[in-house]
Amino acid sequence: MKKLMVRGGRRLEGEVKISGAKNAALPILAATLLAEGECVIKNVPYLTDVDNIIDILRPLGMFIERQEDGSILTRVEDDSCSTATYELVKKMRASVCVLGPLLATRKKARVSLPGGCVIGIRPIDLHLKGLRALGANIEVIHGYVEAEGEKLRGAEIFLGGAFGSTVLGTANVMMAATLIEGTTIIENAACEPEVQDLANFLRKMGAKIEGAGTHRLVIEGVEKLTGTTYSIIPDRIEAGTFIAASAITQGDILIKDMRIDHLHAVIDKFREIGVEIRKVRENPETGLHDVRARGGKSYQSCDVATLPYPGFPTDLQAQISTVLTLASGISVITEKVYPDRFMHMSELNRMGASVRKEGNTAIVLGVDFLSGAPVMASDLRASAALVLAGLVARGETVIDRIYHLERGYEKIADKFAKLGVEIKME
Ligand code: EPZ
């Protein structure tokens, strides 16, 4: 099993380029199932999760290959198979986002239930509610979603759940609605930048979608969608992770090709605790920003509550929690999206942090230092938090089960090494 060794004590200095967003790439690659003709998707990060969605799409009759220039070429060649098997879906729950496109184009889909993961049981009841509202007959049997729908029609759907909007639920219903007769209105839709990116890709293929980025999406079905070229937005969670890395090491780094407008809640919170963050440059062609993040000598504690976009993202909760373990005073962190998403806290406590968990809240009492230790990653963002802790801990930290990290962070060891960190894959 691969492990990552990090030796603490170095300030991060230099510059890092942000890769394409994993959580935009996955639904957009699934959406190429809707296209007639070829699609070329650019700025797709090299991640195991991208490999996983490719492995799901190939058996569904799609030609899909990474090109020399790094872009991914797709072309639907055979629509006879509409099954995504358990063996493939269990590796990545986001595979569930092939449901909508398969229903829209092949009028049937057999997709394994994704199952939960350490951050929660992660049901898909809202996905199924939305697709049923469009007229699909859906049965959940033997661990599979069996869906079919000869006559799907647009409908008005409220897609909010106990934890607010659903990102992939919105993606699934929006994709299905693009090619069916009538107008679909999704109330309490997700507004995440990755959902906006998917909507922009669908519109570029000819879909009629209004309201992307708001809680109300209006989709008017069209006859067909035509393959196109599209470039994925930068990964806001990776960018936020590097802000946290600069903060925790009192570093001074230039984060290139990110989008400040995707991180207002995150930048606001890091400024509140004492990190200096400012836009250095805006690229006129791409609209992307270069941002300087400078850590402070010490940090103020603060309270953080995770919320659906534009609130503070749950995917950066573990990372800011790690910074707060060294802030002076008591910080209260409330998880309103995944109430159990605190697996990283027990590992941080093994490194000398002082965190208590009360239900969906963690109380973090700032300590003077963390000490390196052998730790174990439990999920993608928790593993990023352990790397951050290792950057500043006294001595060496060895992180086991590092495959979690490689799911969502492209060339992360190289990027940290270039910023001056003593880090190596073992
Ligand atoms: C997406 O997952 C992201 N994954 C997650 O990122 C992210 O944490 C999450 O959105 C929230 O922002 C991808 O985009 C591939 P949800 P998704 O449906 O769509 C509940 C990462 O680290 N819910 O928005 O699966 C659910 O349990 C990953 O990159 C229902 O109750 O999340 C959760 O509490 C982790 N019923 C809340 O809603 C449903 O049918 C938000 O989930 C669907 C969701």
pLDDT tens, residue by residue, 368-395? 999 999 999 988 999 999 999 999 999 9
DSSP letter for each residue of 45-98: ---HHHHHHHHHHGGGTEEEEE-TTS-EEEEE---S--EE-HHHHTT-GGGGGG
Q: Whose CA is nearest to atom 16 of ligand 1?
A: 166
**C-alpha dihedral over 77, 154, 219, 186, to 10 degrees?**
-120
Which of 337, 240, 338, 330 is CA-nearest to residue 291? 240
List residues bridging with 220 in a β-sheet. Answer: 183, 208
Q: What angle do CA 404, 331, 122 make, to 5 degrees?
A: 40
Residue 191 CB–ligand 1 contact under 6 Å: no
The finding on whether 168 has its CB within 6 A of some atom of ligand 1 is yes
8 plus 47 within the same structural domain: no
- Which residue's CA is minimally distant from atom 7 of ligand 1? 315
- C-alpha dihedral sign at 226, 231, 234, 237: positive
Domain that holds residue 93: 22-231
pLDDT of residue 36: 98
Which residue, 231, 246, 273, sits at the end of a domain? 231
116 lines ligand 1 (CB under 6 A): no
Q: Which of 122, 145, 317, 405 to mutate to test the pocket of ligand 1 (most atoms within 8 A of CB)?
A: 122
From the CA of 128, give the closest atom in ligand 1.
40
Residue 315, ligand 1, Cβ within 6 A: yes
Domain boundary among 197, 231, 265: 231
Long-range contacts of 309-314 (CB under 8 A, 24+ apart): 309/190, 309/191, 309/192, 309/193, 310/191, 310/264, 310/265, 311/265, 312/265, 312/266, 312/269, 313/236, 313/237, 313/240, 313/265, 313/266, 314/338, 314/341
The reply to whether 212 and 305 lie within a common domain is no
| Ligand 1 pocket: which of 56, 145, 168, 192 to mutate (most atoms within 8 A of CB) | 168
Cβ of residue 94 lying under 6 Å from some atom of ligand 1: yes
**Which residues form the catalytic set?**
117
For residues 311 and 347, state if they share a domain.
yes
| Same domain as 250, residue 156 | no
Q: Which atom of ligand 1 is nearest to the CA of 237?
A: 29
Cα(96)–Cα(93) distance, integer angstroms: 6
- Tell whether the model's pLDDT for residue 328 goes beyond 90: yes
Indicate if ligand 1 lies below 6 Å from the C-beta of 52.
no
Cβ(50)–Cβ(29) below 8 Å: yes
Q: Is the pLDDT of residue 116 over 80?
A: no
Decide whether any atom of ligand 1 lies within 6 Å of the 45 Cβ.
Answer: no
- Same domain, yes or no, for 269 and 282? yes
Which residue's C-alpha comes closest to atom 27 of ligand 1? 122
- Do residues 159 and 137 both lie within one domain? yes
Show the tokens assigned to 383. Answer: 């593993």
Segment 55-105, tens digit of pLDDT: 999 999 999 999 999 999 999 999 999 999 999 999 998 999 999 999 999
With b for 16 or more beta-carbon neighbours within 10 A and e for fewer, the 143-157 pattern comes to ebbebbbeebebbeb
At 126, which CATH number? 3.65.10.10
Indicate the length of the chain as a whole number.
426
124 lines ligand 1 (CB under 6 A): yes
Q: How many domains does the chain have?
A: 2
Average of pLDDT values for 38-51? 97
Q: Check if 289 has its Cβ closer than 6 Å to any atom of ligand 1.
A: no
Percent of the chain at pLDDT exceeding 70: 100
pLDDT in tens, 299-325: 999 999 999 999 999 999 999 999 999
Are residues 272 and 373 located together in one domain of the fold? yes
Q: Are residues 213 and 253 in the same domain?
A: no
- Cα distances (Å, whole numbers) of residue 179 to 109, 208, 222, 412: 15, 10, 5, 39
Same domain, 322 and 190: no
Angstrom distance (rounded) from CA 389 to CA 8 = 8
Mutating to test ligand 1, I would choose from 93, 117, 126, 166 the residue with most ligand atoms within 8 A of its C-beta, which is 166
Nearest CA to ligand 1 atom 39: 124
Q: Are residues 205 and 136 in the same domain?
A: yes
pLDDT score at 2 = 87
Q: Across the strands, what pairs with 216?
A: 187
Q: Is 379 in the pocket of ligand 1 (CB under 6 A)?
A: no
Nearest ligand 1 atom to alpha carbon 122: 27
DSSP 410: T
Q: Which residues pair with 300 in a beta bridge?
A: 328
pTM: 0.98
Which of 158, 238, 337 best tests ligand 1's pocket when mutated (most atoms within 8 Å of CB)?
337
Q: Do 277 and 226 share a domain, yes or no? A: no
Beta carbons of 378 and 350 less than 8 angstroms apart: no
Give residue 118's pLDDT band: very low, low, confident or very high (50, 70, 90). Answer: confident
Please, what sign has the CA dihedral across residues 205, 99, 41, 16? positive
Same domain, residue pair 46 and 158: yes
HSE, CB side, 13 Å, CA atoms: give it for residue 146: 5
Helix (H) or strand (E) run with residue 17 in it: strand 13-17
Question: Taking residues 267-295, what's their average pLDDT?
Answer: 97
Last residue of a domain, one of 164, 196, 231: 231
Region 146-153 average pLDDT: 94
Identify the residue whose tokens are 């509202």: 133
Residue owning the nearest CA to atom 9 of ligand 1: 167
